[in-house]
Structure 1
Amino acid sequence: MEDFAEKQVATATDLTKAPISQALLFFALPTLGSSVLQSANGSIDAVWVGRLLGTDALAATTNGNLVMFLLTAFVFGFGMAATILVGQSFGRHDIAMARVVTGTTVGAFVPLSIVVAIIGWFIAPDVLALLGTQAEIEPLARAYLQVTFLAMPAILMQTILMMTLRGSGDAITPLMFMALAVTLDVILNPLLILGSGPLPALGIAGSALATAIANYVSLIAMLIYIYRRNLPLRLRGDELRDLLPDLKILRLIFVKGLPMGIQMIVVSSSMLTMMRLVNREGVDTTAAFGATQQLWTYVQMPAMALGAAVSAMVAQNIGANLWDRVSRITRTGAVYAVLMTGALVLVLLLADRQAMEIFLGSDSPAIPIGQHIGRIATWGFVAFGVSMVLFGTVRANGQVIWPLIILFVSMYPVRLGVALGLHDWLGSDALWISFPVAMVSTLAMASILYLHGGWRKSSSMDIETHGPNAVVAEVSQTAEAALPCNALAPASPAALKIDVLD
C-alpha cells in the first residue's frame, strides 16, 4: 500500500523537491491563465447580452452575477482550506488522507449546492426584491437568476475540484477544463440567446443556460479525465466511502474556510461603499472609475495567481517539515510579485489613454479623468502583490483570522478614513489616494504578521490516521498571535499531522 502511495505522489508535481523559482513560476502561470479566462468569459458574455438583447438585459445580468459571486466567494474559502489540507497531506506523502479531505469536501458541498439550486429557483423573486431590482428589468433578471441557480452545482463542484487539484501540485488540469468551459460558454451564448436550427430562442435565459451547459459538460469531462489518467485524488472501490463527510475534517474546513470567504465579501462591500462616494463626483468621473476598475482587474491577477501558487507550495513543504524552503518560496514569490505586477503597472501607465479608449471610446471626456486616477493609484498594486504572497504563506498553515482582520482594517478605517477625511482638502483626489494608502498599509500589517505573528506554531488540530480510512482528531485551542514554539519539530512517522492554527 505504501509503495502504491509513493507512485501516486510521483504522478503529481512534487513541490517539496522541485527548484523553487522554476516550480513557482510554472505553477502560477496556469493559475493566472485560468483567472484571465474566467474574467474574459464574463466580459464576452456581457458583450453578447448587451449587443443582442440591449441595455436592460445587460443590467438584469448584474443581479445574477452578484449572487453567483457571493456564493462562489464562500465556496472559494472552503476550497482554499481543503487545498491547504490536501497540500500538507501530499507533503507528507499521505495520499489516503488527501483523498479523505477531497471526499469530505465534495461529499458535503455537492448535496448542499443542489439544495441551494432548488431553493434558489423558487426564491429568486425574493432575492431580486432584496437587491432592490428595478421593476422594469425584474422579469429579465428573474429568468436569468433562476437558470443561474441551476448552474451552481456544476460551478461550485468544479471550483472545489480545481482547488484540490492545485493542492496536489496539478495546475494544468484546472486550466484545461476552465478553457473548455469558457469556449463552450462563448459559443453557446449567441446560439441560445437568438436560437439556431433546433435550438429555441431563449433570450436572457439562454445566456445563463449556456453557462450552465458549459460548466456541466466541463465538469463531466474533467471527472472522466481524472479517472482515465488515474490522478492521485480519484476515489475508487472502498475509497468511495470517503464521500461520506468526516465531521471533524468538515468542521476544520468550515472553521478555516469561512474567514477566507468573508474576506472576499469585505473587499467587495468596501468597493460598493467607494462607488457611492465616486457617484457623487459626477457621471464622467463614475465612467472613468468604472473603466479603471476593469483595468485593475487584470493588473491584480498575477498577484492573486502567485498567492494561490505560494499557498499550495508552502502547504506541501509544511507537510514535509521543510521550513527553510517555506521562507525561500515566500521570498521568491515576493520578487515575482514585484516584477510581474510592476511590469503591468508600467505598461498601463505608459499606454493609459489607449487602455481607457477600449472602454470609453476615443472622444469621451472621462478619459483624462481615468488617466489621472490611474497615475495616482495604480502603483499601489505592487504592494498588493507582495501582500498576497505573504497571506498565501501564512494561510498555508491555517492562519486565516488575522488576514481577515488586516483586510477589514485596510478597507474600512484606512481606505474610507482617507477618502472621507481628506476630501474637503483634496477633493476627489482623496478617493484615488485612498487606494494605494490602503494597499501599503495592508503590506505593512501583512509583513508584521509574517515576521512576528506566530503562524508557524502548529497547535490547533492534529489528524492521525490508523489505517487507510480511520480518522481520529484532537483539537487544542491556542491563540493565533502566540509566539512560535517547536515549529521545526519533526512529525511522528506513525501519524499524519495536518498543522493548522486556530
Structure 2
Amino acid sequence: MDSAKDEQIQATTDLTTAPIGQALLLFALPTLGSSVLQSANGSIDAIWIGRLLGTEALAATTNGNLVMFLLTAFVFGFGMAATILVGQSFGRHDIATARIVTGTTVGAFVPLSIVIAIIGWFLAPDVLTLLGTQAEIEPLARAYLQVTFLAMPAILMQTILMMTLRGSGDAITPLIFMAIAVTLDVILNPLLIMGSGPVPALGIAGSALATAIANYVSLFAMLAYIYRRDLPLRLRGAELRDLIPDLTILRTIFVKGLPMGIQMIVVSSSMLTMMRLVNREGVDTTAAFGATQQLWTYVQMPAMALGAAVSAMVAQNIGANLWERVGQITRIGVIYAVLLTGALVILLLFADRQAMEIFLGSNSPAIPVGRHIGRIATWGFVAFGVSMVLFGTVRANGQVVWPLIILFVSMYPVRLGVALGLHDMLGVDALWISFPVAMVSTLIMASILYLQGGWRKSSSMDLVLNEHRAPVEEISQTAEGALPCNARAPAPPAVLPR
C-alpha cells in the first residue's frame, strides 16, 4: 500500500478528525446491532426451551441467566475501563500503550475466568440454594448452571475483546462475531436439546452447551480475524510479554471498573425490588409489566449504544487533547439520543396494542394494563437516553464514582420513594410514575455533573498513560504502521481534512 493510500485510510478511521455526526452514528449503529442480537438471542433461546422442554425448564434457566448477568456486569465495568484507556491511547497515537492495556486486561481475565468456571461447576448446587431455587426445578437448574459456568470464559473474554476493539474505534468487528455467536447458538439449541442422528438429546444442558460452543467458536474465529487482518491491538513477538499484567494499569482498570460494574448491580437489584411490589398487584399486572419490560429493553438500546459510542469517541479526543470536539460529540450525542429514543417511544405509543400482543396474545386481559403502564412511563426513556450520553462523556475521563452515586439515588430514594410514598394516594399508578420520575432525576443530576462536576480535570488515567507513553519517535512509527490496519472503524469514504 502506498503512502497516499495509508494517509487516506488513517484519516478515515481516526475518530479525532472524522466528522462528528457521521462518525458517531456509524459507530453507534453497529453497537446497537450487537445489543439487539444479544437480546434477540436470549428471547429465541427462551422460546426453544419453553416449547421443547416446558415451563419448568424455562424457569430453571432463570437462575443460570441471573448468574451469567451478574458476572458479565462486573466484567462490563472492567471492560469499560479498558475501553477508555485504549481510546485515550489511540487519541494520543500511542498504540504501544493501547496494546499494553489490552494485554494486561486479557492476561488478567483469562486465568480469572477459568478459575470462575471451575469453581462455579462444583459450587453450582450451593449457588442455587443461595438463590432459593425451588426443589422441583433444582436438578434442571443445576444441569443448566454447570454448563453455563463452562461457557463463562468464552463469554467474558469476548466481552473484553469486543469492548477494547470499540475503544480503538472498531465497532464492526464486534458486530460480525456477535452475529456469528448468535447464529450458531440459535441453530445448535434445538439440535442439542432434542438430539438428532449421532447427536444425543441433552435436554436443558444442551441449551447451555449450545451457548458455550457458539461463544468459543466465535471467540477463536475473532482472534484469527484480528491476526489475519493485523488489527492494531494484536500482540506479536516481544509484545506477547504484555499479557503479563502491568500492575499499575491493572489497578487502574480495577479502581475505575468496579464502580461501573456495581452500577449494573444497583440497577438490577432496584428492578428486582420493583418486581416484588408489582407482584402484589395480581397476575394480570405482573404479566403486563413483564411484557412492558421486554419492550423497554429495546427502547433503551439506542441510548446504551450511543453512550458507549460517545465514551469511546470522547476518550480518543481527550487523549488527543481536543476538548472542543469533546463538547461537540456530547451535544450531537444528546440530539441523537432524543431523536432515536423519542422515535421509538412514539412508535410504541401508537402501536402499543400490537406490541403487547406479541408477548401476551391477542385476548389477554393484561393488554389494557400493559398499555396503561406504557403511556404513563415510556416517555421517561428520552431523559434516560440523554443521561447515558452525559455519563458516557464524563466516564471517558475516568469519572466513574459520581455516576454510580447518581444512579443509586435515582433507583432507591427517588424511584422506591415515589412507588411506596405515593401508593396510598395513587394506587398502583405510583409504581409506573416512579419510572419516569427516576429517569428525569437522573438526567438533572447527570446534567449538573456534566456542567459543574470538574470531570475535565486531569485524572489518574492520565498519570497511568503518561507513565507508559512511548518515546515520540516510537509513537509516530507505531501509529503510521498500525492505525491504517483499523479499516473496520466507522468513517466516511473520502479523505478528511485534518
Q: One fold, TM greater than 0.5?
A: yes
* Stretches of structure 2 lacking an aligned partner (at least 5 in a row): 477-498
Cα deviation, 1:165-185, whole Å, max 9, x if unaligned, reads 000000000000000000000
Which residue of 1 is the match for residue 246 of structure 2?
A: 246
Q: Which residue of 1 aligns with 2:484?
A: none
Contact 1:11 1:231 in 2 (8 A): no
Judging changes above 3 Å, is the alpha-carbon distance between structure 1 residues 467 and 285 closer, same or farther for their aligned structure 2 residues? closer
CA drift at 1:8: 13
Give TM-score scaled by structure 2 length.
0.92
Q: Describe the superposition over 1:55-98 as per-residue Cα deviations: whole angstroms up to 9, x where unpaired.
A: 00000000000000000000000000000000000000000000
Could you list the per-position Cα deviations for residues 217-269 of structure 1 after superposition, in whole angstroms to 9, with x for gaps in the alignment? 00000000000000000000000000000001000000000000000000000
Alignment of 1:61-100 (within 5 A): 61-100=61-100
Q: Find the residue that maps to 1:230 and give its secondary structure.
A: coil
How many Å apart are 1:198 and its aligned residue? 1.2
- Which residue number in structure 1 is paired with residue 480 of structure 2? none
* 1:55 paired residue number: 55
Q: Distance in 2 between matches of 1:288 and 1:32?
A: 26
Match of 1:271 in 2: 271
Q: 1:334 to 1:279 in 2, by over 3 A?
A: same
Q: Is the 8 A contact 1:12 1:168 kept in 2?
A: no
Whole-Å separation in 1 of the counterparts to 2:345 and 2:133:
36
1:297 aligns with 2:301: no
CA positional deviation for 1:447: 0.1
Percent of matched pairs sharing the same residue: 88
- Could you tell me the TM-score, scaled by structure 1's length? 0.91
- d(CA) in 1 for partners of 2:78, 2:239: 22
The reply to whether residue 101 of structure 1 matches residue 104 of structure 2 is no
Give the corresponding residue for 2:452. 452
Residue in structure 1 matched with residue 481 of structure 2 by the alignment: none
Residues 169 and 275 of structure 1: is their aligned pair in 2 closer, same or farther, counting only changes over 3 Å?
same
Q: 1:203 maps to which residue?
A: 203
For residue 139 of structure 1, what is the aligned residue in structure 2? Answer: 139
What SS does the corresponding residue of 1:70 show, helix, strand or coil? Answer: helix
Q: Deviations over 1:355-410 (max 9, x none)?
A: 00000001100000000000000000000000000000000000000000000000
Match of 2:382 in 1: 382
d(CA) in 2 for partners of 1:405 and 1:260? 11
Deviations 1:14-68 (A, max 9, x none): 1100000000000000000000000000000000000000000000000000000
**Would you say the 8 A contact 2:384–2:440 is kept in 1?**
yes
- Equivalent positions of 1:31-430 (< 5 A) are 31-430=31-430
Partner SS state of residue 16, structure 1: coil
User: 1:361, 1:47 → 2: CA distance?
Assistant: 15
Corresponding residue pairs, total: 468
Structure showing the higher helix proportion among its residues: 2
Q: The residue matched to 2:13 in structure 1 has which SS?
A: coil
The 2-side partners of 1:71 and 1:206 are apart by 21
1: CA distance between counterparts of 2:7 and 2:253?
Answer: 27
Q: 1:114 to 1:330 in 2, by over 3 A?
A: same
Q: Equivalents in 2 of 1:177, 1:320: separation in Å?
A: 30
DSSP-derived class of the 1:133 partner: coil
Q: Show the 5 A alignment for 1:11-26.
A: 13-26=13-26
Q: Contact 1:121/1:149 (CA < 8 Å) preserved in 2?
A: yes
The Cα of 1:287 is off from its aligned counterpart by 0.4
Instruction: For CA contacts below 8 A with separation 6 or more, give which structure has more relative contact order.
Output: 2
Residue number in structure 2 paired with 1:478:
none
Unaligned runs of 5+ in 1: 470-491, 494-502
Amino acid in the other structure paired with 2:127: V
Q: What amino acid does structure 2 have at the position aligned with 1:206?
A: G
Separation in 2, partners of 1:421, 1:467: 53
Aligned counterparts of 1:397 and 1:413: Cα–Cα separation in 2: 28
